[in-house]
Structure 1
């Protein structure tokens, strides 16, 4: 599903997407990350590098990863790698900050993802995730499901998790990361922003 067609048809007009309001999402992410010029930053689910291009100007190193090979081949960020967010090949404690924007709702094995985030973050590091508030799982992916499949019911194939901060606390409770902040923001659509700190 996450291939050329997904990048070209679902995300193609991301910079002009008034429904998702990605500029507001990116601004909120930037504020919560509290970036410094000496930071090493990881984006999980970077696609073709829309956000990565903005953030890499503020840090020493910004790496984007995505499972979508086509997206990585088109990525215009400085460093983009085809990699699964549940099985990263980076050494332990590689990054000061990490973030994902509308990615974790697509990851079937969220515990593995958070284990990897905890592993690659330095002690004191932060992970910020933006994910949709959904009345029912897949609600926020309806438009993408129509675009890709012509069927709004396929949205549940895309969003495999219906998430909220409490559910994520349960998933991460035994890991060396702690959710320190969560808020629901209305940036055209309701979206959660959550922050974890590496113990």
Structure 2
């Protein structure tokens, strides 16, 4: 599924129906201020996206959603059950689309490009709410000190980059370390980490 990595593990294994998921997608697109902001930023960056860019799908991987560069954003209906899960997944995947729009000539089969684009993953985990303390607590991650930056965002980026068949776990860790500071501090299109 992934050209840019799928977003976080959400919800139960049964999730919701594609029809209900589509309703939640529509609600996010029309009501969630962060989703609307990132979508507007895509338009301002020269990559407007129509409503058909967003669709529900039953996914074979345990993820909230994914971004397919030539197809759009998928929200995994079988892995989401609540509106806030869809809001975060859409924000996360819109950030992937935004970064893809900013990065011309990326080669997803090149581990360095992927990891550098996984600066997208670092950014998406950091800026989407995916690593919010409440979400981490629900995942059973209770380390309070530096939970957001050093544990959650790094863990999510490592999972994503290591899913690329062109990247080994060891290589993924090294590349994430190499791009960490630049990527984590890049908050565009936001002025600061929301």
| Fold shared, TM-score > 0.5 on shorter chain | no
Which structure's relative contact order is higher, taking Cα pairs within 8 Å and 6+ residues apart? 2
Q: What TM-score comes out, normalization by structure 1 length?
A: 0.31
Between Structure 1 and Structure 2, the one with more strand by share is 1
Between structures 1 and 2, the one with greater helix share = 2
Normalising to structure 2: TM-score of the pair? 0.32
